[in-house]
Amino acid sequence: MTISEIGIPIDLSKGKYENIIYKDGKLQLIELQKSDTGKIVYASSGSWQSEMIYIADKIKAFEKVVKNTIVNGTTSTFKISTQSSADGIEWSPYVEVGTDGSIQSPTNTYARIKIELFSSPTENLNFTVDEFNDDCYTNDYLNTSDDYLEMKRNYTLDYFTDPTWTEDGNLYKTTIDKSIWRKVDSLSSVQS
């Protein structure tokens, strides 16, 4: 999805970008990766916020925001909002423009435009992981030893000797929190 032209003179190459880039004269969501079939996966959402716009005598030019939008992908959507300020410091909340592109926020001396792009995949895509860095995976439920990635299946829990045990031998105890386990296949004690 891209936004290519705005009805008021705004430079889309300037402003604040979040998961959006300015490419070939258009705003588009950043590319995250490619699937095994070569399809590009974009960020699910992103936004661009314009720099502060001094309106002054340009009120007529500031009636409509959108002139031209190009939407690529059947599940891509966008939202354009504006906010205004009398002094450039205190800003009104962002208000989405009307369906005809008309501005709904109060008329003031300054304005800003925010464009939000949304995308969701239209199909399930397959990805192959060729390599990974062990340092990037710090999840307690993943095993990344020996240069492979898998769900962790064996957990080591510390246990302590029960001092109240009076029979022969020792009794070792530990607490297993059942709220974090879906299934326990077996329990065993290994002494070193």
Evaluate whether residue 141 is within a structural domain. no
Q: What is the domain count for the chain?
A: 1
> Residue 85 gets which letter from DSSP?
E
Query: Domain range for residue 53?
Result: 2-118
Cα–Cα separations (whole angstroms), residue 49 to 95, 96, 157, 165: 13, 13, 50, 67
- Tokens (6 digits) for 12: 């889309």
> What local confidence, expressed as pLDDT, does residue 65 receive?
57
> What local confidence, expressed as pLDDT, does residue 9 receive?
65
Closest CA to 18 of 50, 45, 52: 45
Evaluate whether residue 9 is within a structural domain. yes
CA 13 – CA 118 distance, rounded (Å): 19
> What local confidence, expressed as pLDDT, does residue 128 receive?
67
Give me the helices (H) in 82-146, please.
none
Closest CA to 34 of 148, 126, 121: 126
Contact 82, 112 (CB under 8 A): yes
pTM equals: 0.58
> What local confidence, expressed as pLDDT, does residue 66 receive?
54
Evaluate whether residue 58 is within a structural domain. yes
Report the SS3 class of residue 62.
Answer: helix
What stretches in the chain show pLDDT beneath 50?
1-6, 59-61, 67
- Tokens (6 digits) for 9: 């003179």
> What local confidence, expressed as pLDDT, does residue 91 receive?
92
Evaluate whether residue 169 is within a structural domain. no
Place of tokens 């929190």: 177
For residue range 20-53, list pLDDT tens digits in order.
998 888 888 888 887 777 777 788 899 999 998 8
For residue range 173-183, list pLDDT tens digits in order.
888 887 877 78
Evaluate whether residue 144 is within a structural domain. no
The per-residue DSSP string of 135-175 comes to: GG---TTEE-GGG--EE--------EE-TT--SSS--EE--
Evaluate whether residue 132 is within a structural domain. no
